[in-house]
Amino acid sequence: MSKTYWLVSSNGIPEPTKKDNQLFLGDVNARDVVPLKRSERYNYLYYVKNIDESILDNVVIKKHKLKNRIQALAMLPNGLKAALAYLMIYFISYFVMIYLKNELASIYIAFMAFISTMLISFTNYFKSDKIFGPTVTLLAGAIAAKYVAKGYLKTIEVNTIMQQYMGKENIGNLLTILSVMISFHGYIDDIITTYQHELYISKIK
């Protein structure tokens, strides 16, 4: 689906109308309408077509430069830094325990992944916040997993059906496939939402 992007100047909020298969924006200053081009190297940027793209090299922060990444990390709020540090220690400690073949560690981390996936996939509040959303869901998953996993371990001791189908040797596999299915559902939902917006724009009259 090819698209043309335009930079427009308006006297107010542009109101879209459609006539003869053309989209019009009311209150637009026609002389100031300029076609934009999407950068090939920085695909999140659009620039005026008649400008040399190389000028972006002087103003765009390179994602791959370690110095720039360190500077960006330094700008994070202290609370977010503490949360990220906690999560790094959390993951490293569980990695060590799983490497040492601690059966319970793999169960706890599987519950953590499942709960975090549920929160980020089905809660718009977390999905919309690109900075705090993922971190909060991981923290919530880590905390909740501690209690959920303990409840699970107590339940399978007395429930023979759960022992057969959701025992310690299989619960990790089950939670992993559920997490993947939830992620897939979120992916499909995002695709449908995107095309619903396209459909809405195409039907504006």
DSSP 41: S
pLDDT, residue 1, reads 47
Identify the residue whose tokens are 């830094």: 81
pLDDT, residue 105, reads 86
Same domain, 134 and 195: yes
How confident is the model over 165-176, as a mean pLDDT? 84
Closest C-alpha among 131, 116, 146 to residue 79: 131
Give the residue, 151 or 57, on which the prediction is more confident.
151
Whether residue 72 is contained in a domain is answered as no
* Residue type at 93 in one-letter notation: S
Whether residue 13 is contained in a domain is answered as yes
Same domain, 90 and 174: yes
- Sheet of strand 5-7: strand arrangement: 5-7, 34-38, 46-48
pLDDT, residue 12, reads 63
Residue 24 scores a pLDDT above 70? no
* pTM for this model (two decimals): 0.62
φ/ψ (deg, to 5) at 176: -65, -45
Same domain, 129 and 187: yes
Residue 177 half-sphere exposure toward CB, CA atoms < 13 A: 4
> Which distant-in-sequence residues (6+ apart) come within 8 Å of 176 by Cβ?
110, 113
Same domain, 15 and 54: yes
Residue 30 scores a pLDDT above 70? no
Structure tokens at 77: 């709020």
Q: Determine which of 39-48, 101-110, 133-142, 163-172 has the lowest per-residue pLDDT on average.
A: 39-48
* Contact call for residues 36 and 48 (beta carbons, < 8 A): yes
pLDDT, residue 144, reads 92
Q: Which residues pair with 24 in a beta bridge?
A: 17
Residue 141 scores a pLDDT above 80? yes
The span from the CA of 32 to the CA of 39, in Å, is: 21
The span from the CA of 34 to the CA of 11, in Å, is: 16
Q: Please give the residue range of the domain that contains residue 55.
A: 5-60
Calculate the dihedral angle through the C-alpha atoms of 173, 130, 38, 15, rounding to the nearest 10 degrees: 120
Residue 22 scores a pLDDT above 80? no
pLDDT tens per residue, range 62-97: 656 777 778 778 888 888 888 888 888 888 988 888
Residue 102 scores a pLDDT above 90? no
Q: How many structural domains comprise the chain? A: 2
Whether residue 155 is contained in a domain is answered as yes
Same domain, 20 and 105: no
Q: What is the mean pLDDT of the chain?
A: 78
